[in-house]
C-alpha cells in the first residue's frame, strides 16, 4: 500500500517547501499548491489523503475553497487549516465547514507530525499505521563469508524472541535495515516500529503500549531519555510486548556501550550486542553484493540492469570502502544511472573510483577558510559539516538531526539558509565520498 498523499496549500514558498521537506522526510508522499486554483485542481485530480490548507491566499481564501469543496460533495479526506493570523472565530468557522483541525504558523515540528498522524488516523481510531515506518521488504544480509553467515544466524535468532539488543558498527553498515528485518520477522511484526526522535516523542506522550523502539545514536541520549527508555522497556507485559534496540555508530574498536549507557539500561541488553563488521573486513562478499544491488536498484528505481565483469568485481574487491555497504550501493547506482553496455567494464569502474578518491573527506575545507571573515568562515564550516553528515546518513534529515543534536525544524531552516538540499546531497554523484 502506498504511503498517504498529503496536499500542502500555501502561497508562501518557504513555508510550503519547509513543510513539504519535513513530511517527505517522514516517508509521506507530498504534493504542493501555491494558490486556491492549483489546490482545487490537485484536490480533484489526486484525491489526497490529507490537505493542509492555508487560510490567506491571493486568489481565494482557504475558508472559501473549503466551503466550495464541501458544497459539491463530501470531503474526500481530512482538511487541516493553517494560518499565521488566525483567531477563535476563524477556527470555529473552519470546523463548522468540515475542517478537522486548525494549526497556527509558524508550525512547530512536533505539532505538525502529531497533527498529521491524528488526521490520517481519523475515522479509524484503532489504526496505528502511521506509527510504523514501512518500506520495501527488507532482506537478510547476503554474502558467503563466515561473518555474514554468522550474522544471518544472529538476526534470525533475534527475530525468534523478544530480547532487547544492540547493534554496533561504523556508519554505512545498514543497521537500520537490519532492525527493520528483525522487526518484520518477529512476533512484533504487526506492531509499531519507531525510530529516534519520533520514538522519544511518542514515549513522552505515552502513545506506545507495544512494539519496537530503535535509537540510532545512543551517544546522543540524555540521562532522562535513557531513563524513559528503560522504564518503557522494563514494563513489558505478555499483552504488551516491547523491544528496545540501541545502535552505536563509530569505529568498532572504540565502542563501549557500558560507558555510554546508564547501568540499568545496559543491563536490559543482557549482553546481546551484535557487532557489524566494516565491509573492508569481508571483501569476499563484494561480488554477491554487486549482483544484489544491481538487481534491486534496477527493479526498484526502474534503471537498466547491468552486470559487473569478473575483472570489475575483482577490482572492487581491492577497494577499502570507507562508507561500507551504503557507499557500495551508491556506487552501483551511479554506474546504472550512467548507462552503457550491459556488462560494466574495468575502465568504467576505474573512472568512478578515481572520482571517488579525488574528493577529500570534507570537500572544499582547506586553508582558504582562514582568509574569510568570521561570519563567512562559520557558514563555510557549517555547510561542509552538514554536507559531510548528510552523506553519512544518506540524505536522511531525521538521522542527521539526531547525529548533530539539532531540533529538526531548526535544522531544516539551517539547511535552507545554507543552500543545502538533502535530496541532492544524497545523490550518488555527490555522495561518493572517501572518508579515510
**Phi and psi for 255 in degrees, rounded to 5?**
-70, 135
- pLDDT at res. 373: 64
Q: Give the cell for residue 225.
A: 531519555
- pLDDT at res. 137: 53
Cell 528503560 found at: 230
- pLDDT at res. 106: 76
Domain definitions of the chain by residue range: 5-128, 146-277, 281-358, 367-431
Do the two domains 5-128 and 146-277 of this chain adopt the same fold? yes
pLDDT tens per residue, range 111-165: 788 788 878 876 433 333 333 333 345 788 999 999 999 999 999 999 999 999 9
- pLDDT at res. 239: 93
Classify domain 146-277 by CATH number. Answer: 3.40.50.300
Residues of the chain with pLDDT under 50: 1, 123-136, 251-255, 360-367, 426-436
- pLDDT at res. 327: 86
Eight-state DSSP code of residue 253? G
Instruction: For the domain made up of 367-431, give the CATH fold.
Output: Arc Repressor Mutant, subunit A (1.10.10)
pLDDT tens per residue, range 327-349: 898 899 889 988 888 899 999 99
- pLDDT at res. 51: 94
3-state secondary structure of 213: strand
- pLDDT at res. 312: 94
CA separation for the pair 83, 104 (Å, rounded): 5
Q: Does domain 5-128 have CATH number 3.40.50.2300?
A: yes
CA distances from 47 to 7, 241, 363 (A): 9, 37, 44
CA separation for the pair 247, 164 (Å, rounded): 11
Beta strands per DSSP E along 170-276: 193-195, 211-215, 242-249, 273-276
CA separation for the pair 391, 383 (Å, rounded): 12
Classify domain 281-358 by CATH number. Answer: 1.10.8.60
Amino acid at each position: 500500500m502506498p504511503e498517504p498523499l498529503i496536499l500542502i496549500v500555501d502561497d508562501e514558498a518557504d513555508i510550503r517547501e519547509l513543510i513539504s521537506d519535513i513530511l517527505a522526510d517522514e516517508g509521506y508522499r507530498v504534493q504542493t499548491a501555491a494558490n486556491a486554483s492549483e489546490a482545487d485542481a490537485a484536490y480533484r485530480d489526486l484525491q489526497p489523503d490529507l490537505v493542509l490548507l492555508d487560510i490567506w491566499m491571493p486568489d481565494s481564501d482557504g475558508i472559501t475553497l473549503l466551503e466550495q469543496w464541501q458544497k459539491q460533495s463530501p470531503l474526500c479526506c481530512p482538511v487541516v487549516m493553517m494560518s499565521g493570523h488566525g483567531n477563535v472565530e476563524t477556527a470555529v468557522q473552519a470546523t463548522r465547514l468540515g475542517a478537522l483541525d486548525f494549526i497556527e504558523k509558524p508550525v512547530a515540528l512536533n505539532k505538525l507530525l502529531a497533527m498529521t498522524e491524528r488526521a490520517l488516523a481519523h475515522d479509524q481510531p484503532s489504526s496505528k499505521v502511521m506509527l510504523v515506518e514501512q518500506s520495501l521488504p527488507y532482506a537478510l544480509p547476503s554474502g558467503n563469508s563466515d561473518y555474514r553467515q554468522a550474522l544471518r544466524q544472529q538476526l534470525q535468532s533475534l527475530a525468534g524472541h523478544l530480547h532487547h539488543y544492540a547493534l554496533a558498527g561504523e556508519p554505512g553498515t545498514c543497521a537500520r535495515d537490519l532492525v527493520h528485518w528483525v522487526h518484520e520477522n518477529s512476533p512484533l511484526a504487526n506492531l509499531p516500529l519507531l525510530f529516534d526522535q519520533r520514538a522519544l516523542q511518542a514515549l513522552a506522550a505515552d502513545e506506545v503500549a507495544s512494539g519496537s523502539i530503535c535509537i540510532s545514536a545512543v551517544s546522543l541520549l540524555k540521562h532522562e531519555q535513557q531513563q524513559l527508555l528503560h522504564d518503557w522497556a522494563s514494563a513489558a507485559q505478555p499483552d504488551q510486548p516491547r523491544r528496545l534496540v540501541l545502535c552505536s555508530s563509530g569505529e568498532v574498536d572504540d565502542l563501549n556501550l557500558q560507558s555510554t549507557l546508564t547501568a540499568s539500561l545496559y543491563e536490559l541488553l543482557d549482553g546481546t550486542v551484535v557487532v557489524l563488521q566494516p565491509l573492508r573486513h569481508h571483501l569476499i562478499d563484494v561480488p554477491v553484493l554487486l549482483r544484489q544491488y544491481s538487481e534491486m536498484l534496477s527493479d526498484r528505481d526502474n534503471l537498466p540492469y547491468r552486470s559487473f565483469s569478473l575483472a570489475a568485481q575483482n577490482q572492487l574487491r581491492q577497494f577499502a570502502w570507507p562508507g561500507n555497504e551504503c557507499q557500495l550501493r551508491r556506487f552501483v547506482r551511479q554506474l546504472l544511472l550512467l548507462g552503457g553496455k550491459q556488462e560494466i567494464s574495468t575502465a568504467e569502474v576505474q573512472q568512478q573510483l578515481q572520482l571517488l578518491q579525488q574528493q577529500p573527506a570534507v570537500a572544499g575545507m582547506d586553508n582558504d577558510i582562514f582568509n574569510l571573515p568570521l561570519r563567512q568562515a562559520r557558514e563555510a564550516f557549517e555547510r561542509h559539516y552538514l554536507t559531510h553528515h548528510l552523506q553519512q546518513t544518506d540524505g536522511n534529515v531525521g538521522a542527521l538531526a539526531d547525529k548533530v543534536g539539532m531540533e529538526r525544524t531548526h535544522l531544516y531552516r539551517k539547511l535552507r539558509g545554507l543552500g543545502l538540499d538533502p535530496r541532492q546531497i544524497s545523490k550518488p554523484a555527490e555522495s561518493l565520498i572517501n572518508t579515510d
